[in-house]
A and B are shown apart, each in its own frame.
Chain A
C-alpha cells in the first residue's frame, strides 16, 4: 500500500496518497505562478483551493478515505490547467505570461519568501515567519525581539516588520514561507504539521457546534480584518512618511555629528555643555586606531538602524522590492559594528580597573590646630589654564601643550570621630594596574593653601597630557569635631557636595553662613530662619555662640 500524508486544504483535513499529493502540489503551484502577477491572486487561490476541497469531500466515502491519484486527475480535469483558462487579458499578456510561467516552475522549488506565520504566532507571527525564512527555531528570534525590546528599538522593529511582511494565507504561501525544496517528504511534513494543528483545534472546540461557532467568530474577525486592512494601508503610508522624516533627520544629525563641526554637543544656553570632539577623543582613547574602530563601530551600530528606518519608510510608501540578501548583509554588518564597540569597550574597561582606593597613596591628611575661631573655607577663582574642550559649571576640561586641567573637585563635611579637626585631600584616578595608578597619582597636581584658621582650595587639578582623561578627581573631606564652627564661602558653590545638616538645608544655601558641629550634626549659626530645630538645640547653639562673639570683640 502506498504511503499517505495528511493535508489541510481550506481548513478541511484529507488523507492523500503520496503520488497524488505530488501531482496536486505541482498543479497548485502552476496555478499560483499563473496568477502571480495579478493583484487578486491570493483571493483567487483561496477560492480555487476551497473548490478543490469541496470536490475532494465528494470523493470521500466510508469505503474510500484516501484521495488517490485518479481523484486528483479528475479534479484537475474539472478545474482545468492554466493553459485552458479563458483569460480576458490573454491576448495582451499571452507571450510574457507563458515565458514567466515556465521559468517560475524551475525557480519555485528553491525560492523562499518572507511571510508572517499565522499558525505559529505569539503576536503577529513575525518571529515565526522570520524563523521559517532564516531556517532557525522561532524561539531564538523571539528571544532576540524580547532583548531588543529592552534595548529600545524592538517594539518599533516588530511593528515595521508586521506592516511590511504579509501573512501566509494559502497553502502555497506557507510552502513558500518555509521554502523547503518541493519533494514529497518535505511537503508531506509541512502539511502534516498543519493537519495536526487542525485536529487539535477540532478536539478543542468539539465537532459540529464548535465548528459553527468558530466560523461565526471567524467571519466577524474577517470583517474586522478588512476594516483594519484598509486602515493599515492608510496608516502604512503615514508611517512611511514619518519613518522617512525621522530617519532622514537622524541621519543628517548623525553625519553632522561625525564629520561636521569640531564641536559635538553645543546645546548651550549659558555654556552648559560643549565638547571639542577630536581633542576630547584623543584624550580618551588609548590609540588612534582604537579611536577609529570606535567611530566606525558607533557609526554602524547607530547608522544602520537609521538607514533601515528610511528603507522601511520608502518600502511602505513605494513598495520597493526587498532583497533578503541585502537585509541579512546589513544585519551581519550591524553585528560587526556592535562587536567593534564591544571590543573598544572591553579594552577601555581594562584601562579603568584600578583606582585610588586600591593604593591609598593619593590621600594627604592635614590637622587643623586652631580650634577656637570659625574655620574659613573658600576656593580660588583663578582662570583655568589652557583651552577649554569641555565646559560645564561643575565639570570642565581644558588643555595646553603638555597638560590637562580638570575641575572635578568635591567638598564633603563629616563629623570627626576624634577630637581633632582633620582635612583629607584625596586624589583619585583610574588605571589598568596598581603601578599605573601610582604613576598617574604622582603626576597629578592639586594645590591648596592651609593656614591656622583657613583653607583656600585650588579650583583645578592638572596632569600630564599622556595620562589622558581617566576619571581624575579630588575629594576634600573635612572631619569636624563637635563644638567646632566653620564658615563656608560662596566660592564653594560648585564643589560643595551633599553636606548633611540638621535643617536639611540645600548645599548652595549653606554658603555664606557659619555652621557649627553639634551632637546632632551641622547646625546653622546665623541663618535668619531656622526651621525644624528644638528649643534645647537653640539653647545649645547660643551656648556656643557666646565664646565666639567674645573672641571677635578681642
Chain B
C-alpha cells in the first residue's frame, strides 16, 4: 500500500467516524479542523484505523501524534 493509498483510506474512515462528507486530505490536518473531532471521537477514530489496517497502537504512539500526516506515517511503518 502506498502512502497515498493509506491516506485515502484514512480519509474514508474520517468521513465515517466524524460523519462529515468530502474531507480534503492534508498532512497538517488536526482535530481543530474538523468539527466533530473531540477526545471521544478520537478514540473511535483510532480504533477504526486499527481495525481497517489490522494493526495496534500503543498509548504512547497515539499520544505522540500531532497531525493526520503523522498518523499515516505511523500506519505505513506498522505495515512494514
Say whether A associates with B: no
Q: Which residues of A contact B (CB under 8 A)?
A: none
Q: Which residues of B contact A (CB under 8 A)?
A: none
